[in-house]
Structure 1
Amino acid sequence: MVHFEKELSRKEFYHGYIVDFCVHQVELEDGKTASREVVHHHGGVSVVALDEKGRLLLVRQFRFAAGKELLELPAGKLEQGEDPMAAAARELEEETGYQAESLELLTEMIPTPGYCTEVIRIYLARGLRRGRQHLDPGEFLSVEAVDFAQAEEMALSGQLPDGKTQLGILALTARMRREKASECDEK
């Protein structure tokens, strides 16, 4: 069975720099109607940046909505129509001061599908070389290089509560295990 909801109307209540807030009237599968409050977001990118020493680059910053300082993967929002891979390269350099020799899509996530359209694409960055950090106005953060095994443990224990950070680390862990198993099979 395919489940669906059909949009009947949309009313925008707020148009902002990062999000728009709308209320949609929808028709349900049984023919009844319901309201859906939706935050529309252009999406974002996050970067799992692993240096030559096996350390993960994380950024520490205060997150007002969370009410505390968090340690996260470098990340940022997409401008409307922006290429996600280009945005990942931009955010990595802006926030950490590093450029990547290669970037590849690791995974993607929908952080809050119950009320938000945001999709975050998570990229793996390798071949890091030092560039120049250039933060956005009003952006204050520090960069920390954490041993990947320690970062994995921090993600699993809840010390890194940010969802995109947890998923990025665990997706790379799974990929590394698959690559290692594949190498063993070849021998």
Structure 2
Amino acid sequence: MNPNKPEHLYEKTISSQSIYEGRIIKVKVDEVLLPNGNTAKREIVHHQGAVAIIPLTDDGRLVAVRQFRKPLEKVIVEIPAGKLEPGEDPLSCAKRELEEETGYTAAHYEKLSAFYTSPGFADELLHVYVAKGLVKGESRPDEDEFVDLLELTLEEAHELHQAGEICDAKTVVALFHWENQMLRARG
């Protein structure tokens, strides 16, 4: 057995049925053959992919947005993010989303990571960028997007996390990255 190619774990698709196609996601149900010979159904959400931006001001603040999230039925604080358009370059999307949601542009972008948000049922790949050298401008949110702009210190962001207002994975990852970056800078 080759540990780098664990074929014994793969599930072969027997059939696939599309059950929903929306503007943001597509949902299908696959029947799969399991490694032990049994079959199972897998509900799979297809998403075009997205970007998230960790915008850091020159004075050491995180630019974030506060908005209502219907699936959670509450207002939360997040880093700016948005979905990729078909064929769109993730860096181009990051630049567009940062300006649309916050009004900021950035002189420097660094790709931090890319990760699957929920690989147990979705294929969404999220690309995360750090943006620095920010210049404030005029935000242009989508017509169905309503946000408040915040500039947070690390301490304020941790307080919001403890209070449950920062509760999404991308923003929690951003906090850990930001804190780690500050610790490394201190030596």
Same fold (TM over 0.5): yes
Letter in 1 for 2:111: L
Q: Which residue of 146, 157, 170 corresponds with 2:152?
A: 146
> Displacement of 1:157 after TM fit?
5.8
CA distance in 2 between partners of 1:164 and 1:61 (Å)? 15
TM superposition shift of 1:148 = 2.4
Q: Among residues 76, 84, 89, which one is paired with 2:82 in the alignment?
A: 76
2:34 maps to what in 1?
28
Amino acid at match of 2:95: A
Q: Which residue of 1 aligns with 2:20?
A: 14
Pick from 43, 49, 58 the counterpart of residue 49 of structure 2: 43
1:118 paired residue number: 124
Tell me if structure 1 keeps the 8 A contact 2:154–2:179: no
Cα distance, 1:68 vs structure 2: 0.7
User: How far 1:131 moved relative to its partner?
Assistant: 2.2
CA contact (8 A) 1:7 1:25 kept: yes
Per the TM alignment, residue 158 of structure 1 is displaced from its structure 2 partner at its CA by 3.6
Alignment pair present for 1:65 and 2:71: yes
* Residue segments in structure 1 that go unaligned for 5+ positions in a row: 182-187
Does 30-39 or 3-12 show the bigger shift? 3-12
Are the counterparts in 1 of residues 100 and 139 from structure 2 also a CA contact under 8 Å? yes
Q: Match of 1:184?
A: none
Indicate the SS of the match to 1:81. coil
Relative distance call for 1:75 and 1:174 in structure 2 (3 A) is same
Say what the alpha-carbon RMSD is for the aligned residues.
1.6
Partner of 1:102: 108
Single out whichever of 97-106 and 146-155 deviates more from structure 2: 146-155
Q: Could you list the runs of 5+ residues in structure 2 that have no partner in the other structure? A: none
TM-score between both structures, scaled by the size of structure 1: 0.90
Q: Secondary structure at the match of 2:113?
A: strand
Aligned to 1:136: 142
TM-score, normalised via structure 2 length: 0.90
Q: Tell me the SS of whatever aligns to 1:114.
A: coil
SS of alignment partner, residue 25 of structure 1 = strand
Q: Which amino acid in structure 2 is aligned with residue 23 of structure 1? A: V
How far the C-alpha of 1:174 sits from its partner, in A, is 2.2
**CA distances 1:124-183 after superposition (whole Å, capped 9, x unpaired):** 0000001221111111111011112321443356441111110112123223334544xx
- Shift in Å at residue 71 of structure 1? 0.8
| Aligned mates of 1:68, 1:136 — CA distance in 2 | 19
2:72 partner letter: A
Which shifted more, 46-55 or 153-162?
153-162
What is the distance in 2 between the residues matched to 1:5 and 1:171?
34
Match of 2:180 in 1: 174
Question: Comparing 143-152 with 99-108, which one deviates more in the overlay?
Answer: 143-152
